[in-house]
Amino acid sequence: MTDHYDCFAIDSFEAEGAFGARIRRAGFSLVALDGVLFPALETGSAWPSPEAAIADARQRIDDFRRR
């Protein structure tokens, strides 16, 4: 399941019965975090549904912007 939020694409994935999210720029450009470039970021949380994982990823994107 892929969700688009602002200029990011969020992919939810299942791992051992829990869901996580992978955040990447929609244009496949690299994501910078504290000056380090990454092709994608994975959330470190386990959620009961893909919708909850995507909601958490959206919150993390909003948090990144506040820094």
Condensed to tens digits (0 to 9), the pLDDT of residues 8-55 reads 899 999 988 899 998 888 777 787 778 888 887 777 788 999 999 999
**Kind plus residue range of the DSSP H or E element containing 53:** helix 50-66
Contact status, residue 19 vs residue 47, Cβ threshold 8 Å: yes
Q: 30, 45, 15: which is closest to 58 by C-alpha?
A: 45
End-to-end CA distance of the chain: 28
Report the pLDDT value the prediction gives residue 50, as an integer from 0 to 100: 92
- The CA distance from 59 to 36, in Å, is 21
